[in-house]
């Protein structure tokens, strides 16, 4: 079989869900150690899907050593390193996240040096958020340490939707402003997701002081009133992420998929936003549903719900982080190959001590996840 034929065959097999066979085809033709880099790269992806992380990492590492200037390959390696908990090297390679074809235009070109973790007392450091809301909630925890380590006057530029929450929480920040507005003069800058590298963040440093985001007491009171009549436990649901996320098909589901969770003695509300929220108007039979999505005006409502509800059950989306950051509990439904931040082979997460992870036992198997959750939910209900 020629290399081209093997690649075609492997892609067809992988497309039809036969990942194991696809990997075998590639491994056979690549056994001699030669072959084009894109084929090795594809093999590494397949091996990751098969959870053969050490094999995948060895290939990606080899590719990076052979082609140091191929930055997308370095980003591949970064994700695998972080997924397997190698933060030291992982954050270092994560710096190439704006070197991919679809991210190049997103890099923010700041005309000042990047902060590398050094002490810079008396100077002004601008930290700016990037990427999605969930990332921002997750990494805001690093700001107090950034302030302490730099000794700088700390300015935070953050997305509009998170601004009030961040202001209320303080986070050691001297000045906060919404994304896109003019910051005061500053000497150094750092992207929020570059803070782990600058700070040398280790797994054992997590979670740090919890909770680090403070809800609005008035909103908490509002939601206490709103949910007062519902029998406990009250479970908030979120079943779909932002539809424009590159991995959305892999992480999102429908409310109907969650039908087995409906059981006597459990109340459900929704924190789902976007078009998927509509589904709450026709909940699965047997699910005691109070659709609340329309009443959620902003993240302060979600943060308040985290204080009032007993649990969030959610796919990998921003409410998971907001619940965690404000001290709420969540059960997270994860695809077989999850995003790097959830690590592997564990049902808890160092980022949020009250969270519990439910992983697909095999690719695409949401029913097994929901089944396991239904059992756990029944136990929770009975213990209450």
Partner 1 sequence: MSTSPASPQALQDALSRANQHWNAGQLGPAEQLCQQVLAAWPGQPDALHLLGLMAHGLGNLDLAIQHVRAACQAPRAPALYFSNLAEMCRQRGLLAEAETAGRRAVSMNNALPGAWNNLGIILQERGSYAESRSCLERSLTLHPDNVEVLNNLGNTCLRLGLVAEAERHWQRALALRPGYAQPHSNLAFLLNARGEHDRAAEHAQEAIDIEPRLADAYVNLAAAETARGRHTQALHWLDGLLVFAPGHGIGLAARAMALQALGQPEAALDAARRAVEAAPHSDEARNMLGLCLRDSGRTEPALAAFAEARSLGGPAAPRAALNHATLLAETGRVAEARQALAAALVVHPRVGALWHASLEMQPADAEVVERLDALLAEAEAPQERLVLHFALGKALLELGEDDRGFHHLGAGNALKRATLRYDAGAMAAGLRAAREVPEVPGEADPLPVFILGLPRAGMALVEQVLAAHPSLHGAGALPHVAALAARPEALGAEYLARVRPLAEGRRHVLDRVPLLHAGLLHRALPAARFIHVARDALDLGFACHARLFAEDLPFAYEPGELRAYLTEASALAEHWRASLPAAQWLEVRYEDLVRDLEGQARRMLEFLGLPWHAGCLAFHRRRGRVAGTGAWRLRTPLDAGRIGLGQRYAGHLAALGL
Give the footprint of partner 1 on this chain (CB under 8 A).
37, 66-71, 74, 108-112, 126, 128, 157, 180, 182-183, 185-186, 189
Identify which of residues 108 and 160 has a Cβ nearer to partner 1 in the complex.
108
Q: What is the CA radius of gyration of the chain?
A: 22
Q: Are 117 and 200 in contact (CB under 8 A)?
A: yes
Q: Are 207 and 351 in contact (CB under 8 A)?
A: yes
Which residue's structure tokens are 């699910």?
287
Identify which of residues 110 and 206 has a Cβ nearer to partner 1 in the complex.
110
Identify which of residues 38 and 364 has a Cβ nearer to partner 1 in the complex.
38
Burial letters 146-163, b for 16+ CB under 10 A, else e: bbebbebbbbbbbbeebb
Least CB distance from residue 183 to partner 1, whole Å?
Answer: 5
Identify which of residues 102 and 362 has a Cβ nearer to partner 1 in the complex.
102
Identify which of residues 196 and 335 has a Cβ nearer to partner 1 in the complex.
196
Least CB distance from residue 191 to partner 1, whole Å?
Answer: 10
Instruction: Return the DSSP state at 349.
Output: B
Q: 3-state DSSP call for residue 155?
A: strand
Beta carbons within 8 Å of 263's beta carbon, 6+ residues apart: 286, 374, 377, 378, 381
Least CB distance from residue 331 to partner 1, whole Å?
Answer: 38
Least CB distance from residue 198 to partner 1, whole Å?
Answer: 13
Least CB distance from residue 110 to partner 1, whole Å?
Answer: 4
Least CB distance from residue 108 to partner 1, whole Å?
Answer: 4
Q: Give the residues across from 333 on adjacent strands.
A: 315, 358
Least CB distance from residue 68 to partner 1, whole Å?
Answer: 4
Angle among Cα 270, 271, 272 to the nearest 5 degrees reads 90
The phi and psi torsions of 59 (rounded to 5 degrees) equal -65, -45
Long-range contacts of 217-226 (CB under 8 A, 24+ apart): 219/300, 219/301, 219/303, 219/304, 220/304, 220/307, 220/308, 222/304, 223/301, 223/304, 223/305, 223/307, 223/308, 224/308, 226/292, 226/295
Q: Are 343 and 83 in contact (CB under 8 A)?
A: yes
Least CB distance from residue 179 to partner 1, whole Å?
Answer: 9
């Amino acid at each position: 079989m020629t290399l081209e034929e093997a690649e075609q065959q492997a892609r067809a097999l992988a497309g039809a869900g036969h990942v194991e066979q696809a990997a075998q085809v590639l491994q056979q033709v690549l056994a001699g150690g030669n072959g084009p880099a894109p084929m090795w790269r594809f093999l590494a992806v397949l091996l990751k899907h098969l959870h053969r992380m050490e094999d995948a990492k060895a290939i990606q590492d080899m590719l990076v050593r052979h082609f140091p200037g191929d930055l997308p390959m370095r980003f591949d390696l970064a994700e695998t390193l972080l997924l397997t908990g190698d933060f030291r090297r992982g954050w270092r390679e994560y710096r190439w996240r704006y070197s991919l074809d679809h991210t190049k235009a997103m890099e923010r070109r700041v005309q000042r040096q990047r902060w590398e973790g050094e002490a810079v007392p008396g100077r002004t450091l601008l930290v700016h958020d990037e990427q999605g809301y969930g990332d921002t909630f997750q990494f805001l925890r690093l700001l107090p340490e950034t302030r302490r380590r730099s000794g700088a006057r700390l300015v935070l530029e953050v997305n509009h939707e998170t601004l009030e929450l961040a202001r209320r929480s303080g986070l050691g920040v001297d000045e906060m402003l919404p994304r896109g507005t003019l910051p005061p003069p500053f000497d150094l800058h750092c992207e929020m997701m570059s803070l782990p590298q600058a700070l040398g963040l280790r797994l054992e440093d997590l979670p740090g002081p919890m909770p680090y985001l403070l809800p609005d007491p008035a909103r908490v009171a509002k939601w206490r009133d709103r949910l007062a009549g519902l029998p406990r436990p009250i479970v908030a649901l979120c079943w779909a992420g932002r539809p424009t996320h590159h991995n959305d098909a892999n992480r999102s589901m429908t409310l109907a998929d969650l039908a087995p969770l409906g059981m006597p003695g459990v109340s459900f509300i929704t924190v789902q936003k976007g078009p998927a929220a509509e589904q709450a108007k026709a909940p699965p039979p047997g699910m005691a549903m109070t659709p609340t999505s329309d009443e959620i005006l902003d993240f302060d409502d979600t943060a308040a719900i985290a204080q009032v509800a007993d649990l969030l059950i959610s796919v990998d989306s921003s409410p998971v982080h907001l619940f965690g950051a404000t001290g709420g509990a969540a059960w997270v439904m994860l695809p077989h190959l999850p995003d790097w931040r959830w690590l592997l082979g564990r049902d808890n997460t160092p980022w949020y001590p009250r969270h519990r992870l439910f992983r697909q036992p095999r690719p695409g198997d949401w029913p097994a996840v929901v089944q396991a959750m239904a059992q756990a939910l029944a136990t929770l209900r009975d213990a209450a």
